[in-house]
Structure 1
């Protein structure tokens, strides 16, 4: 783990009780983005606040270098206040005017189309190739509006897991790799591809005109999350130029670039709902060069459900498209960080359930997860990252209380947590102190 230092972040917080939103700068004694989030969350929870999202959470030197003279003087002063015994300092809080309900530029709808009935005994070419409701979602046309086209961005590697071979060079629909040149050649069998799945004229009524690719896709690939569907009135070349810009993008504050797998279902499930009320981000993804992406869709729950992301307020956005190219920020990564944290927390809860079968026999894994959530976040803020250490610390929080670190009458236990010792030395010192405080060692070994 990197050394602890002062980090600065632009924070958007919400009053849990009345829903009021605030913006402020915060300084946090942290080692990375995860410890910044955990320490801030632990600090503001007793204040009745919760994190909505963070922007530009960076080490102070990086933050000041990036913002230069734009960084307020009081923000610089915040960094001088935090240290190992004072982890978080909030700057002045400004209320964010939302007029009640925050403006949302994307709507999210979940559909559960009725699947096709069993077609056993029906000749293959006489079988329906797609369920009616799903057909309407993916290929239906609006009345009195320009024709909507349907595209699929598919991961060739994930598709190959089903087909067994790379076949996108021999299908009967238009295909174009989102990579170019040598990169497209070298990564041919694992690259993302844009496929025009717009139904040919007459194919809506006449199944004989439906391409073989469509039949095969909905028979063998639907439900395996190999890509996402896009609906727009733009032509294939326009869609290709727009979305290929998101494949390899710069990371804010770093010289490296990030490979963005936006065709993964996680973006439908986590990322696009996350940016739904962020006008600039929605405009970057959904509006470009005179056309708009009307919807992104992905199959969920093994193909039994469809999540649809629909653009709203396009007329308001169209004159305000940001000119700045897309770059990945901590705000963009926040939902993925949260997903990973929750996954790790559930694994930790399962390990505790297995490790203490008698003590926790009346506790479900979900209950254990809820009990250790806040203590583990606090432990991470203290600098712990190794699972073997978090396992012990989470166990202590279960058996000695969520705030066991603050129950040492002498305050020595808390001093160890806040010390600058290495993680291993800190853990050793904590074990020794816990042995001194209690003769019961079962949950500490």
Structure 2
């Protein structure tokens, strides 16, 4: 059975440069080297030698300080992506090769509109100039860029208190079809063509009422994402609707993907920026590409812009395999949940030990327990009440407390095949024994 393995590989480039990096490979142990060689050869590298090749769980357990970066590599490999390389370190000190990025991600701050009280409504600006340029500006040469909005009807309704997308003055189309579109009408995602009419750039009277209402009431509420592309509305609709309900690798039940949610702009798209296959999947389609995605941040004070690199526009082909959600796609959301759980744990410890931790902030506590908690999760501990105790031990007895038992018993219990409850009971008993006062020799 194939699974994830981790190893350290040493590579030589055609120009003679030698590099070292971690590699995650989805393979049998016997095929680790051959799978890796087949991956690096087309990229101009020769595999010189390997070291420390271990199953992923074993590697993470033995290299706890490297958990975050190793975990990301492990989550990236599967049957459809058999090799993932970490950052390459040159054998010449201080020289590192960063993986190529296919997306440019930039956060833009802009000045809000000034107070327009006293100005007749027909003379008022409907959008801040910098924001207008980002969302509706045109290139100096080339095809006209159109602007679309994918909006969440539920979130929009939360802002204005009613569903109104069946009565607006711009083209609207639900991303669902048939019965689903009817039954989920007021909670479905919708594609809206927000391309400005001709001459509306300079004449506010030609700007649709939908635009003016959106930027007056909805901007800053995270109700959807903007799309810049040369494509027609029907093409954009056909491209994005296929991402709404996606198969999950290894499971029968598909996943409803809310890609218009702010988490995707903040977590997911930056996560896939170095993954050519995923970027092509989301941003490329036969006949057109998505030039940029944009969304409001910080309550509308900034705009996140994610732009497709032009190197892909002319060289990439639309992937032929059906898209499915894998552990790689879910990894940034898992890390976000883990981070929130760690923060909750840090707050609970601060509250639970007010005297002992009075000089520690929650941020400091989090930084101290992060590696131990990841290690304990690797040992099979999942329940928050257990992690709370284990994190407390790491604070008061040392971050590697399980390795301080002279007999090695604590470490053996952690690595044992016992159930989580039995492991915890055994750890408590051993910790009580180690903490008990020693009797004086008679």
Shorter-chain TM-score bucket reads 0.7 to 0.9
Matched, 1:107 2:104: yes
- What is the aligned partner in structure 2 of residue 62 from structure 1? none
- What is the aligned partner in structure 2 of residue 193 from structure 1? 190
- 1:44 aligned residue (63, 68, 72): 63
Shift of 1:46: 5.5
Matched, 1:9 2:4: yes
The correspondence of residues 182-261 of structure 1 with structure 2, limited to 5 A, is: 182-261=179-258
**Distance change (3 Å), C-alpha of 1:357 and 1:197:** same
Q: Which moved more, 1:313-322 or 1:243-252?
A: 313-322
Matched, 1:54 2:108: no
Q: Structure 2 stretches of 5 or more lacking a match?
A: 11-17, 29-54, 91-95, 438-442
**2:226 aligned counterpart, secondary structure:** strand
Matched, 1:158 2:155: yes
TM-score (norm 2): 0.82
Runs of 4+ in 1 over 6 A off after TM superposition: 12-15, 36-39, 93-99
- What is the aligned partner in structure 1 of residue 122 from structure 2? 125
The correspondence of residues 297-316 of structure 1 with structure 2, limited to 5 A, is: 297-315=294-312
Shift of 1:281: 0.9
Shift of 1:201: 1.0
**2:382 aligned counterpart, secondary structure:** coil
The correspondence of residues 56-95 of structure 1 with structure 2, limited to 5 A, is: none
- Distance in 2 (CA, whole Å) between partners of 1:40 and 1:408 is 22
Matched, 1:168 2:162: no
Matched, 1:23 2:23: yes
- Distance in 1 (CA, whole Å) between partners of 2:296 and 2:286 is 28
Shift of 1:244: 0.4
- Distance in 2 (CA, whole Å) between partners of 1:337 and 1:286 is 24
Q: Is the 8 A contact 1:14 1:49 kept in 2?
A: no
- Distance in 2 (CA, whole Å) between partners of 1:324 and 1:318 is 18
Summarize deviations over 1:316-342 as a string: whole Å, max 9, x none.
664433211211111111111111111
Matched, 1:362 2:381: no
**1:25 aligned counterpart, secondary structure:** strand
Q: Is the 8 A contact 2:293 2:307 kept in 1?
A: yes
- Distance in 2 (CA, whole Å) between partners of 1:254 and 1:386 is 25
- What is the aligned partner in structure 1 of residue 51 from structure 2? none
- Distance in 1 (CA, whole Å) between partners of 2:283 and 2:363 is 37
**Distance change (3 Å), C-alpha of 1:46 and 1:208:** closer
Matched, 1:433 2:426: no
- Distance in 2 (CA, whole Å) between partners of 1:395 and 1:214 is 53
Count of residues in correspondence between the two structures: 397
- 1:351 aligned residue (348, 354, 357): 348
- Distance in 1 (CA, whole Å) between partners of 2:338 and 2:56 is 11
Summarize deviations over 1:124-160 as a string: whole Å, max 9, x none.
3332111000000000011111111000000111111
- What is the aligned partner in structure 2 of residue 75 from structure 1? none
**Distance change (3 Å), C-alpha of 1:148 and 1:422:** same
Q: CA RMSD in A?
A: 3.1
**Distance change (3 Å), C-alpha of 1:240 and 1:359:** same
- Distance in 2 (CA, whole Å) between partners of 1:177 and 1:48 is 42
- 1:413 aligned residue (410, 414, 421): 410
Matched, 1:286 2:294: no
**1:320 aligned counterpart, secondary structure:** coil
**Distance change (3 Å), C-alpha of 1:14 and 1:391:** farther
